Amino acid sequence: MAPRIPSVYVLLALGVVTFYFYYRNITASVDPAVFTLGRHRPANSTLGFGAIYVVSGPGSPRKEGLVEAANVTELDLTFPELPAWTDEQVHDFRDNEHPEKSTILNGSIKAWLSHHVILHEFLKSDHETCLIMEDDVDWDIRLRTSQIPRAAAAQRALMPPAEEEHFWGHPQDWELLYLGHCGDYFTTVDGKQVGVGVVHPETLEKVAHVLYKDETMPDPTDIHPFTASLLMAFNIPAKTRMVHRSRFPLCTFGYAITRSTAKRLIEDLAPAKEEAGRWKHAYDISILEACRDKGLRCYTVTPELFHHMEGTSLIDGVAKNLAQRPPADRVGTGQVKYRNETSNIGCGFWSGDFRWNGDNEKLAYLREEVGRKGRCLKPGREDDGSVSGRKVPLVAT
C-alpha cells in the first residue's frame, strides 16, 4: 500500500494549483483577452473616490436636473461655490504682453478658472482622490451598481496590487482617470474618420489596456459613430469596454485625479494664466497634452461612462448651432435625437423619464427600481434598456 500523503500537503498542492489558475486568468486578461469579471463590490456614494465635485456656475440651469439624477442613483455631490467671472478676470488670464496672439475664447477662460476653483477646493480637503464632473453630464442608471465597479476592477487589473480600500488602485500608481469624455481616439479628430482605416488592432496592442464585458453598453448600432468605428478598428466584441492608457483624450466631462495631480495641474501642467509664448486653447486640451506629451499617467474608460447632455454649453451658456460644434457633437446629434438618449449612454436621464420634481414618494420608487435594481423603466424599453413593445409605468400603482 502506498504511503498516505499528509493532508497538509494536499491542501498546499491545491492552493498552488488554485493560485496558478487565478494568476493565469488575471495576466491573460490584460492585453488582449477580455477580462472576465467575477463578483464585484458595489461603488459607494462617491464612486470609490474621496469626493465628487461639480463644476457648476452661479444660477446654472443644469444644476437641478443633475441633483435629481444624483438622488435617483444615490450619489453624494459637492458643489463648490463659483464666482460670476468678470471681464477683468478674463482679461488677466490672457497673455497681455501679446493680446493679439491670444485665441482662447472668453467662455473657455471662464471654464478654465472654474476648474481651478475645484482643484483648490479639493486640496483644502483631506481626500486622497476626487472625481470632477461638469454639471451638464448624463450617466446610465446602472452607473453605481454595475458600471463603476466593473471599470474599477479592470483599472485595478492594470495597476500593481493595492490595499482593499483603494477602489481604483493605489493613488501612487495613476494620476488621472478619464471616466467622462468625448472620445479617446488614438489620433487627431478631423471630423471625418477616427477608427476604421486610421487605426488598427496592433495600435491597441502597443498600449496597456484591459477589455471587459459590460451588458449595459448600448447595442453596436446605437454607439456614437466615432466610438463604433474605433471599436470596430480594434476588433473589440459587442458589449465590451476597455480601460487603457490615454492616447488622445478629448473633453473633461468627468475626470478623477489625485492630490499630486491637482498640484501639478495648478502649478505647471494647466496653470490658470497664459504665459508669454505659451498661448492656450482650452483646459481639456492642456490636460490632453499633459497626458500625451508630459508624462502624466492617464487612463481612459472607452466608451465613456459620463457624456454631456444635448443642450446648453458649459463654455458659452447657450446652445450652439450644429456648424459651431466640435466634430464629435456634430456627428452624434442626429443619433441622440433618434435614440432619445445621450451619446454612448444606454439608459440615462436626459430624456426626462426619471424626473421626480420634489415628489419624495416617486423618488423612493425610482431609487429602488431604477437606481438600485437597474430597471430601465422607460416607455417601450425592457428592464435592460433594450427596445420592446411594452410600456412600464414609472410609479407604483
Q: What is the CA radius of gyration of the chain?
A: 22
The one-letter amino acid code at 215 reads E
In DSSP terms, 242 is beta-bridged to 211, 302
Residue given cell 491637482 in the structure block: 262
Cα 292 to Cα 380: distance, rounded to the nearest angstrom: 43
CATH number belonging to the domain at 52-352, selected among 3.90.550, 1.10.3470, 1.10.1760, 3.30.70: 3.90.550
pTM of the model: 0.86
In DSSP terms, 77 is beta-bridged to 52
Q: Are 305 and 180 in contact (CB under 8 A)?
A: yes
Cα 372 to Cα 226: distance, rounded to the nearest angstrom: 31
What per-residue confidence (pLDDT) applies to 302?
Answer: 98
What per-residue confidence (pLDDT) applies to 226?
Answer: 93
Q: Are 255 and 375 in contact (CB under 8 A)?
A: no
- Return mean pLDDT, the chain: 85
The one-letter amino acid code at 300 reads T
Q: What is the pLDDT of residues 259-284, one digit of tens each?
A: 999 999 999 999 999 876 677 889 99
Q: What is the pLDDT of residues 25-80, one digit of tens each?
A: 333 234 345 655 555 678 999 999 999 999 999 999 999 999 999 999 999 999 99
Domain boundaries, the chain: 52-352
Q: What percent of the chain has pLDDT over 90?
A: 70
Q: Which long-range contacts (CB under 8 A, 24 or more apart) does 187-194 make?
A: 187/247, 187/248, 188/248, 189/226, 189/248, 189/250, 189/326, 189/327, 189/328, 190/327, 191/327, 191/330, 191/331, 193/229, 194/226, 194/229, 194/230
